[in-house]
Amino acid sequence: MQRKIMLEEKDIPSHYYNILADLPNPLEPDLHPGTKQPVGPQDLAPLFPMELIKQEVGTERFVPIPDSVRDAYSLYRPTPLYRAYELERALDTPAHIYYKYEGVSPAGSHKLNTALAQVYYNKEQGVKRLATETGAGQWGSSLAFACQRFGLQCKVYMVKVSYEQKPYRRSMIQLWGGEVVASPSNETNAGRAVLAKNPNSRGSLGIAISEAVEDAAGREDTKYALGSVLNHVLLHQTIIGQEAKKQMEIAGEYPDLVIACVGGGSNFGGIALPFIKDKIEGKKLRAIAVEPASCPTLTKGEYRYDFGDVAGMTPLLPMYTLGSDFMPPSIHAGGLRYHGMSPIISRLYLDKLIEAQAYEQTNVFEAAVQFARTEGIIPAPESAHAILSAVVEAKKAKAEGTKKVILFNLSGHGHFDMSAYDAYFSGKLGNGQ
Ligand SMILES: Cc1ncc(COP(=O)(O)O)c(C=O)c1O
């Protein structure tokens, strides 16, 4: 009985996998917010270094990972793949449940996979400072760590509700040398405009993105970094799925189901895209994106062009959206409180290559607690959405009497989310409606 399937450092993928090479229907272009014409590299140049702009639109199937980035990955990669024997036993299911654990990174989630790559390409172009937004603080802390590693300054606009709920993520950003403010802040026009309308605004990812974009666009030495949604972010995250594929091979199984939570779509894309390549080539596979019922972008949103932020400063993206002014309720899965969805994930959903499910917060925490009590790891509230879906599917397998192989991505640990678990145990956790 092998519980953990480990790879060696030499097995860290040498390339990122680019699904744009294999999509049955190509993505529609992003549009300039002013002219509504397709954006070109020059439109994006104030925000991103050229290498990332190339990756955003490139269709080469495999993109080499620079040695310095692979070296930085070796701090925590390859990440383990676990067989969830204890959870299986508790559920008394014939399903085999596997999870890829990204919480072993220094920042505690998958976000570091793209943070290291993005900071590296910015450094190569001589950029000195990065501005970004963060929801739950997972992305902000990852970018702060990556900036520290490669010697850049880092400014983080942190959604106010998380800034208050998760003070230790704030401290982590500071610990790794980053500067962090609550968003909406008084430091940008976008922040001031929101505060003028609603001084008690608790913020949203859409507002924080507007602030970070404005910061980067207004300074010569600064570029912008986004922790999800964009093609190059999903590209970097595909190292998760590539490793998982090798590990499943060692386990002698191939998943019937690949499951991950979705905020902007990057950990789902990270684990699922290398498997979806197989599906496009004819393999049987269900891929399930799991979102909060209170921010149901795929299950209740519509597919159209929309802004990535609240102030309308980003390009218009072809995606599922709840509307760029949608204010999600203050649920604890802060990283899933986003009105939009990655264009790649949106396209796959439109083309029925993936499915989506939405769950209520209290049910998600019930699954999180069951997981922590069986497997030991305390999951991030975001990741717990994937756990609940895996549990639901494993129960279905039991009811049907079929042996399903389920693989899910445990995108991060919840060590800084204990106030959310406190609220759950004291009966104060609602469903964010
Ligand atoms: C642990 C964790 N999982 C998932 C997400 C959702 O983001 P994405 O959909 O980009 O993976 C976040 C976002 O902050 C996160 O912190």
Write the pLDDT tens digit of every residue in 245-292.
999 999 999 999 999 999 999 999 999 999 999 999 999 999 999 999
Two tokens, residue 175: 């610990």
With H, G, I as helix, E, B as strand and everything else as coil, classify residue 117: helix
Is 136 a pocket residue for ligand 1 (Cβ < 6 Å)?
yes
Q: What are the distances in angstroms from CA 224 to CA 42, 48, 115?
A: 15, 6, 12
* Residue 20 parent element (H or E): none
Top-level CATH class of 4-8+67-108+231-425? alpha beta
How many degrees, rounded to 5, is the angle at CA 230 between CA 226 and CA 232?
95
CA of 163 to the centre of ligand 1 (A): 16
CA of 262 to the centre of ligand 1 (A): 7
Q: H helices within 158-265, ranges in order?
A: 160-165, 167-175, 189-197, 205-217, 231-251
Two tokens, residue 82: 């676990």
Is 237 a pocket residue for ligand 1 (Cβ < 6 Å)?
no
Q: What percent of the chain has pLDDT over 70?
A: 100
Is 107 a pocket residue for ligand 1 (Cβ < 6 Å)?
no
Two tokens, residue 313: 């400063």
Mean per-residue pLDDT over the chain, rounded: 96
Cβ–Cβ < 8 Å for 214, 186: no
Q: What are the distances in angstroms from CA 183 to CA 78, 132, 192, 328?
A: 34, 11, 10, 15
Side chain identity at 204, as an amino acid letter? S
- Between CA 146 and CA 110 the distance in angstroms is 13
Nearest residue by C-alpha to atom 5 in ligand 1 = 335
Question: Which pLDDT score, from 0 to 100, does residue 171 have?
Answer: 96
Nearest residue by C-alpha to atom 4 in ligand 1 = 382
Radius of gyration of the chain (CA): 20
| Residues in a beta bridge with 259 | 288, 408
Is 386 a pocket residue for ligand 1 (Cβ < 6 Å)?
no
Would you list the domain boundaries of the chain?
Answer: 4-8+67-108+231-425
| Residues in a beta bridge with 258 | 287, 407
Question: Which pLDDT score, from 0 to 100, does residue 432 have?
Answer: 66
Average pLDDT rounded to a whole number, residues 83-87: 98
CA of 411 to the centre of ligand 1 (A): 7
